Structure formats: C-alpha cells, structure tokens
Structure 1
Amino acid sequence: MDVITYFSTNQHNLSTNSRTLAMNYILNEQIAAAAFLNVIYSVDAKQKIVLYHALDMLVERHIDYLDQALDLYLQRALAETHESNKRCISRTIFHQLKNNKNLYNTAQKKQIIHTMFDWIILPSAVATRVNAIHILYFLVDEEDWVKEQLIALIEQNLLLQEPSFLSRGRKILKLLQKKKTRI
C-alpha cells in the first residue's frame, strides 16, 4: 500500500494516540519529508489538518525530519490559511529555530519573518500569534527592522490580547531588553 493510499484510507484523528500511530507509520516506513508533504496535500481537508498535527508531533520529537525538504515545506506551509494548520506550522518552525537558529538560509528566514508578521497582524488564533512572536524573536537579528517592528507590535497589542499573548509578549520584550543591554 502506498503512503497516499494509507493516509487516505486510514482516517486518523487528532487524538494523541492516533497522531502517534501516524508518526510511527512515517518513521517505520521511512517516509521522506518531501513524500509526506505530498501526502498532506493529497488527502481531504480534514485529514490534512490531522497530518499537519502529526508532522508537528514528529518534528518536535525528531527535529531534523524536515531538514532535506525545507524549501518545499516553507513553500506549502507558509501559504496555509487554516488556523489549525497555521498553529502546527508555527509550532514546527518554533521547535526548529529553538534547536538551530541557523537551520534556514537567509531567503527562507526572510520568508518566515514576513509570514509571521502577517500571522500576527491579520486575524490568527492566539496560539499561532504567540508562536509567531517567539519565532520572530529567534530571527530578530536577520533584518535591521525586525526588532523595532516586533517591539512596536507587541507593545501595541499588550492591552488588547489574550493572556497567553500577553505573557509571551512580556517575556519576549524582557529578552529583547536583555539582548539590547548586552550589546
């Protein structure tokens, strides 16, 4: 059974057990990241969400899984509009950058920076926005304007946002301040 048929016929769900089964299938069958990304875009919308959640779980545990397919991943992932998928994508990029800030090349980092600002400014779920501000913190030294814009955006939204955004926003502001005083 090919991988597309497997994920089309074995309807996984968002339960931890089901996502773990999907993740283990990917690992046991040694499915390359590019092939799995093709699967994600070959199944129905409901399964696509589940597979993005499985990919999120997979990358959290096997941080280098996407390393050979970063261009393809970003090309597809950063164009996503479904909130659940965006949340998973932002978590995946967060974990990757937390582990290795130099994983992405300069062009990829610029693409991530622009998308994360869009996801913060445009209506996105709070989890996506919280991950996005932390991703931008990791990439703050990539472009001269990122730090200034990130600080302004967080400060502008401190009174208007959910508690999780406020908490992470304050944390990022403190980290940026510490970084500024070290220089």
Structure 2
Amino acid sequence: MSSELHLKLDYVNAYRENRLMGAQYILENQHLFDELVQICFSPLDKNNHKACWILEFISYEELIWLQPYLNFFCSNLKVLKDESSIRPIAKVVQLLVKSHYKKNENSILLSGENLQDCIEASFDWLINDVKVATKAYSIRTLYILGNHYDWIHPELQIILNKDYADHSAAYKAVAKEVLRKIERP
C-alpha cells in the first residue's frame, strides 16, 4: 500500500510550479519530511528523483530541517546514481556547506565526517560523467570548502584547467569564475 507521500509524489512532474507545490505540501506537513529524506536515498524507489527535486526546494526555505539527518544524508551521497537525483542533491550539498561556514544562529553544523563526505561526493560528481549543472554546483561547493582545507583549491585548479577545453560554455563560465577567485585570494 502506498503512503500519503508516495501518492503525492506520483503526481509530481518536472515543471517548476509542480515541484514547488510538492515542496509546499511537505512544508505544510512536516511529519512527512523524514519519509521524504528516506526516499531521496532509495535509488530503487520510482519516486526517488522526485523526492530529491522536492528536497531541493524545501532546502531553500527550511535547510535547518536537515540538521538531524546530516549523518544519514552525507554518508548516503554515494548511493545516488541517477542524474535526476544527483543534480538537486548537489545543490543541497552546496547550500549545506555554505550555511555551515556562515556561522550564525541558523547555520547548519556539519561534522568533520559530514564535510569529508561532501568533499568526496563533490569531487566524484566533478570528475564523472554528469551534466553541467551538477558539475557547476560541485565546483562552487569545492571552492567554499577549499577556503578551509588547504589541499582542495590546488586539486580543483588541476581538474578545472585539465577539463576546461572539453566542456560547454556554462561549465567554462563557472570554471573561469572559480579559477579567478582561487588565483586572486
């Protein structure tokens, strides 16, 4: 028997308004958030990618809801294989890392292990065959992390310079922006 959330996810499609409505439903029914996070990291679930789309939109509004799930979230980044799931999760990783280093009362607190998982996933997405949006989020996430881990910027520079010529204009724009920031601290 399908859960309330699964029934809702069955009707979510890729249209932005539709994804926003799905996110709004979860924002109004926070008790479904736990199940949403579980579905995000259940690659065999037919609604896995839809749950990831909705989690991204919820993260813009209530990123703090992820705080109790960070160990689960970060340690399971590597289970995602479908591009439709990886792209929104890469954006959520970027939001989490940005929040962690903002250090205000609403900041996300990532453990050292959480940060290592985010670094590993971001480098994997950057060097593997995924779409440019995922790579762009990964580049920006790694740039932020590189401000706190000495070894990341040099590694990121090597990858961006090596791969620059083989990618789209969108990738090149992000790579150029980040390389400029790294070279001029």
**Aligned-residue offset at 1:154:** 0.6
Change (3 A) 1:46 1:39: closer
- TM-score, structure 1 normalization: 0.86
Aligned match of 2:181: 175
Aligned match of 1:53: 53
Cα distance per residue 1:100-125 (max 9 Å; x no partner): 32632211111111111111111111
Aligned match of 2:106: none
**Aligned-residue offset at 1:158:** 1.3
Contact 2:40 2:51 survives alignment (8 Å): yes
**Secondary structure of 2:64's aligned partner:** coil
Greater mean alpha carbon deviation, residues 12-21 or residues 169-178: 12-21
**Secondary structure of 1:159's aligned partner:** helix
Change (3 A) 1:18 1:72: same
| 1:31 and 2:31 aligned | yes
| 1:124 and 2:122 aligned | no
Letter in 2 for 1:28: E
Change (3 A) 1:33 1:77: farther
| 1:8 and 2:6 aligned | yes
Aligned match of 2:65: 65
Change (3 A) 1:41 1:7: farther
Unaligned runs of 5+ in 1: none
Aligned length: 177
Of 117, 130, 155, 1:149 maps to 155
Following the alignment from structure 2 to structure 1, what is the Cα–Cα distance between the partners of residues 147 and 76?
25
Following the alignment from structure 2 to structure 1, what is the Cα–Cα distance between the partners of residues 159 and 87?
19
Change (3 A) 1:42 1:168: closer
Unaligned runs of 5+ in 2: 104-108
Contact 1:23 1:54 survives alignment (8 Å): yes
Letter in 2 for 1:54: I
Cα distance per residue 1:44-84 (max 9 Å; x no partner): 64421111101101102222221121111112233201111
| 1:112 and 2:136 aligned | no
Q: What percentage of aligned pairs have identical amino acids?
A: 19
Contact 1:140 1:147 survives alignment (8 Å): yes
CA RMSD of aligned residues (A): 2.2
**Secondary structure of 2:30's aligned partner:** coil
Change (3 A) 1:43 1:117: closer
Contact 2:41 2:79 survives alignment (8 Å): no
Following the alignment from structure 1 to structure 2, what is the Cα–Cα distance between the partners of residues 5 and 78?
26
**Aligned-residue offset at 1:23:** 1.3
